[in-house]
Structure 1
């Protein structure tokens, strides 16, 4: 029995669930999917809702009800796609942004701008999300100095050292690959 299994057996089930959920959430664009789902809800809700103010009933009845239903259901679906298929996050992010923009004229100003803003933020987060780098387990010799691939990278002068004392490692070797480098700046014309 491993250490992870033995500690998990002694923990409360809510703390185990919370840890597993945080691990699952960290492997996908969770907040992008949540905002996309939350963006679809007001877009679908407002065309079909009736608001009772005392004895008066207000209902927003337009011919855009079917368009709002389609846009809202697609946003909800794209939110689930962002959660369960993070490899297609670019497509889902772009589609979410486009549906948010289409919802302004088609679905009562994008759910009175609440659904539009949530969907726009969710699409942007879906586009911006990138999977994290896996963490490396610590080596057996934790007290040893890290091994660098480039030995010259370790010889960087500190703020309290004189850079001239480092000798030839401090020399800059730049090569101009153009005919007229002009200090690295390009000029047009």
Structure 2
């Protein structure tokens, strides 16, 4: 029974950005623990920035829990966590003495970067030599060019048309020899 519970927990953790959510929740708890330890609730009523620190911490905790419960929203929630962690630097004791801010940034980045385990078989970003050769063979079988001889002939004709035009353009762009700066250097100074 115990091993079965571990397998279920492991599969649950792998099916969502678990570590990103954990770091986001830890950042929120850390940001919330410092003002609560200082018993700053009366001050929070009087000053808005301490209240903003409470709000940032609570939203981070909620965002971390939502990253676990709704993995499809991980990018949005991760960006919210990153932005709130940066805002905590100003509003909540230098981001919970930098620890809460760093945990929130790390958790937000992990949540944004997480991808599900199951990937489609024909992904476009996975290119191998074998897949390129198979695609070339499939393309060659669909093209109605007998042994590529027509395509090669068209390419040769195109080259015959383009190369003389390039030469003519290069010759037209040349500066006459008597007007070039090199010719001026060769002239004797008077």
Q: Normalising by structure 1, what TM-score?
A: 0.59
Aligned residue among 97, 101, 111 for 1:112: 97
Query: Pairwise mapping of residues 1-189 of structure 1 onto structure 2 (< 5 A)?
Result: 13-50=1-38, 63=47, 64-133=49-118
1:26-75 deviation digits (Å, cap 9, x = unpaired):
00000000000000011111112149xxxxxxxxx673321111111100
Inter-partner Cα distance in structure 2 for 1:96 and 1:17: 30
1:87-128 deviation digits (Å, cap 9, x = unpaired):
000100100000000000101111111110000000000110
Q: Which has more radius of gyration?
A: 2
Give how far 1:16 is off. Answer: 0.8
Please name the residue that 1:168 is paired with: none
Inter-partner Cα distance in structure 2 for 1:113 and 1:40: 12
CA RMSD of aligned residues (A): 2.9
**Contact kept in structure 2, 1:28 and 1:83, CA below 8 Å:** yes
Q: Normalising by structure 2, what TM-score?
A: 0.58
Give how far 1:150 is off. Answer: 6.4
Where does structure 1 lack aligned partners over 5 or more consecutive residues?
1-12, 52-60, 137-148, 154-174, 181-189
Where does structure 2 lack aligned partners over 5 or more consecutive residues?
122-129, 135-154, 156-161, 164-190
Give how far 1:151 is off. Answer: 11
User: How many residues end up aligned between the 2 structures?
Assistant: 124
**Contact kept in structure 2, 1:48 and 1:65, CA below 8 Å:** no
